[in-house]
């Protein structure tokens, strides 16, 4: 099974492809990956842990199965190239259905599409342009054990990587109320990011207005944070407003009110943390792996049909 990556730095999207790469290995496949010439080969690239699986040349015609995600389709410039072999397409965002996005043009290419959430599947299926079957395997968490073992020090962290302006405005609004916050507005290492979540009592996560799933909020729940996150479509797969998270509107006033409510109400914080941990436990890597393995077992029949 051949993967293709244009790796310019670690992102959640790359992380989920890495998970599927390991799922393929666990299922007994000879998984290989090719990196574009512009790709980074530094400590942020998880594939460097398996150098024997990195291909020097891009030869998709030699693969039994191709695994593509995002703009990887650009590596197959010909519509007919490799059309006779199964292509698995991981779809991680509702924007694949946006007519203004180049991603939508790839929906007409024949593939077995795995969507990370039901909203993503609904979005692409609603275009009427998808060639091939669509399956939903909800995104799973992949957290190192050490992250959950950090001593909780308390405090507030704001993940504003996808909304830096809103994050800065929120931090300023909280500061005016005498509430200090750790703001993450620029990319940090994966371990550092998880450590900051694991050491906080309250986490505010600021997604794009639309997301395919949005793992950071689920990671915050798994790490025991009382979680605040606006609705972003994809997080409806796990979000239960008022039960496992507070879900205010994405503006400084509403977000500040949610944070102040949590600070004042220890019982609410405890309820959100307990429900959040229970929610996160349902999205296990083992379940994602099992469902992918089942799809691979029937891949020949699915592709022939």
pLDDT of 219 higher than 60: yes
pLDDT of 1 higher than 90: yes
Question: What's the pLDDT score for residue 300?
Answer: 92
Torsion angle of C-alpha atoms 243, 192, 69, 92, degrees rounded to 10: 10
158 touches 206 (CB < 8 A): yes
Q: What is the pLDDT of residues 154-174, one digit of tens each?
A: 899 999 999 999 999 999 999
Question: What's the pLDDT score for residue 97?
Answer: 95
Question: What's the pLDDT score for residue 160?
Answer: 97
Mean pLDDT of the chain: 93
Q: What is the pLDDT of residues 175-208, one digit of tens each?
A: 999 999 999 999 888 889 999 999 999 999 999 9
Question: What's the pLDDT score for residue 122?
Answer: 96
pLDDT of 83 higher than 70: no
Question: Of the given ranges (3-17, 72-86, 120-134, 245-259), which has the lowest mean pLDDT?
Answer: 72-86
Number of C-beta neighbours around residue 104 at 10 A: 16
Residue 56's closest CA among 25, 86, 81, 32? 32
SS3 state at 120: helix
How is residue 116 written in tokens? 């990370």
Q: What is the pLDDT of residues 34-64, one digit of tens each?
A: 999 999 999 999 999 999 999 999 999 999 9
Which residues are bridge partners to 54 per DSSP?
Answer: 33
Q: What is the pLDDT of residues 289-300, one digit of tens each?
A: 999 999 999 999
Hey, which bits of the chain come out as E strands? 2-5, 32-35, 54-55, 66-69, 87-91, 112-115, 134-136, 156-159, 182-184, 202-205, 226-228
Question: What's the pLDDT score for residue 81?
Answer: 52
Task: Say what percent of the chain tops pLDDT 70.
Answer: 95
pTM for the full model?
0.87
**With bands split at pLDDT 50, 70 and 90, how would you rate the model's confidence at 84?**
confident
Q: What is the pLDDT of residues 104-157, one digit of tens each?
A: 999 999 999 999 999 999 999 999 999 999 999 999 999 887 544 556 668 999
Q: How many residues does the chain have?
A: 305
Which residues are bridge partners to 233 per DSSP?
Answer: 211
Question: What's the pLDDT score for residue 144?
Answer: 82
């Amino acid at each position: 099974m051949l993967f293709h990556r244009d790796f310019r730095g670690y992102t959640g999207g790359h992380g989920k492809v890495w998970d599927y790469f390991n799922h393929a290995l666990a299922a007994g496949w000879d998984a290989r990956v090719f990196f574009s010439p512009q790709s980074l080969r530094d400590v942020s690239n998880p594939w460097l842990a398996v150098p024997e699986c990195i291909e020097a040349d891009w030869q998709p015609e030699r693969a039994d199965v191709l695994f593509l995600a995002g703009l990887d389709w650009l590596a197959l410039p010909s519509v007919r190239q490799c059309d006779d072999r199964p292509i698995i397409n991981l779809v991680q965002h509702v924007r694949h259905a946006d007519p203004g996005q180049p991603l939508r043009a790839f929906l007409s290419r024949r593939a077995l599409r795995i969507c990370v959430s039901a909203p993503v599947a609904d979005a692409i299926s609603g275009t009427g342009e998808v060639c091939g079957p669509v399956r939903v395997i909800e995104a799973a968490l992949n957290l190192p054990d050490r992250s959950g073992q950090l001593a909780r020090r308390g405090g507030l962290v704001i993940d504003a990587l996808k909304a830096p302006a809103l994050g800065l405005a929120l931090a300023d609004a909280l500061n005016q109320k005498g509430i200090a916050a750790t703001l993450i507005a620029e990319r940090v290492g994966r371990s550092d990011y998880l450590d900051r979540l694991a050491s906080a009592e309250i986490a505010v996560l600021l997604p794009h207005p639309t997301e395919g799933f949005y793992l950071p909020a689920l990671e915050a729940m798994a790490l025991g944070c009382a979680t605040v996150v606006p609705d972003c479509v994809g997080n409806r797969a796990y979000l239960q407003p008022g039960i496992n998270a507070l879900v205010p509107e994405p503006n400084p006033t509403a977000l500040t009110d949610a944070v102040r409510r949590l600070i004042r109400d220890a019982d609410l914080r405890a309820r959100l943390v307990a429900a959040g941990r229970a929610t996160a436990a349902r999205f296990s890597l083992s379940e994602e792996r099992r469902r992918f393995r089942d799809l691979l077992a029937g891949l020949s029949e699915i592709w022939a049909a």
